[in-house]
Structure 1
Amino acid sequence: MNPLAELLEANERFYSAFNDRDLLALAELWDDSGPVACIHPGWRALTDRHEVLESWRAIFEGGGPDAIDCRAPEALLIGGGDSETLGMVVCYEAIGNALLVATNIFRKGEGGWRLVHHQAGPCNEPPAEAHAKPPLSPLQ
């Protein structure tokens, strides 16, 4: 599989883990070899892996949204040639009637692509493809 397809698959696993309320799967996706950051809409920046994972637990236990529909994901590699170690997915999160724009940054290591950063926030002018419900993926 090419690096962009692998990156999009890792991003899809992130949203599947959220929608399944699978904290263990989320923990496996978040990098544990270096710094991480997570900024949920309206929250302060979290820069400790334990804090990040606890934030997801709080969202799951606190009646967070039932599902996030990831739309119009665009994968970008950071680096050149075969040396890419960072990848970024910019996408839109449909949560009920709300549409957020999100950035998910991954680091590629021995275990594949692992999250190092997630941030989502309001989007006033999303592209048309962000409004369209995507077809079901193999992971759904």
Structure 2
Amino acid sequence: MKRSKLQAAVVGGTPDDIEHTFYEALHNADIGQLMACWAEEDDIVCVHPGGGRLIGAGAIRSTFEAMFNNGSVQAFPERVHKVQSLASSVHHLVERVEVITPQGVRQAYVIATNVYHKTPQGWRMVAHHASPGTSKDAADVGAKPTVFH
């Protein structure tokens, strides 16, 4: 029997599953699905572009509920780079966000870092830190380092 993405977030899943479910929840303005992605720890943290640091599930939930009162967030993760160990995974990426303006749909870019820990409930988000980006962020700068052995 195949599990739904929400069940994967609730039961455990991989960091990639949780990330997919997080962005799906933004697209659907689904606060329950979004909060199921977060760890049940007092020190989880979220920083929105240009915003302050939100610590704890209550503060994070309140801010996303306020955002969802204005509709869904059409953020699409792109160029995800990952650093993973046995119990943590860090994803740094560019979010392409569709913004409705009087001139129609426009693209905005956000630089984000999502941090996941393996908890007793499975992989969960412990930090989402997003900073304003520019159209230049649509392309990565620099090259991957070469490792010599």
TM-score, normalised to structure 2, is: 0.72
Residues 27-42 of structure 1 mapped to structure 2, 5 A cutoff: 27-42=35-50
In 1, the alpha carbon distance for the partners of 2:34 and 2:18 equals 11
Equivalence for 1:116: 126
Q: Gaps (5+ residues) in structure 1? A: 79-83, 130-140
What is the match of residue 6 of structure 1? 14
Question: How far apart are residue 49 of structure 1 and its match?
Answer: 1.4
Q: What whole-Å deviation, never above 9, does each CA across 1:82-137 have from its counterpart, x for those lacking one?
A: xx2221111111112111110011111122211111011123442537xxxxxxxx
Deviations 1:47-90 (A, max 9, x none): 121101111101111x2664111111122114xxxxx2221111
Query: What is the aligned counterpart of 1:19 among 27, 31, 45?
Result: 27
What's the CA shift for 1:9? 2.1
Q: Equivalent of 1:88, from 87, 90, 94?
A: 90
State the identity %.
24
**Larger proportion of strand:** 2
Q: Give yes or no for contact 2:42–2:56 (8 Å, CA) kept in 1.
A: no
Say whether 1:126 aligns with 2:128. Answer: no
2:88 counterpart letter in structure 1: L
Q: Which residue matches 1:99? A: 109
Pairwise CA RMSD: 1.9
Of the two, which has the highest radius of gyration? 2
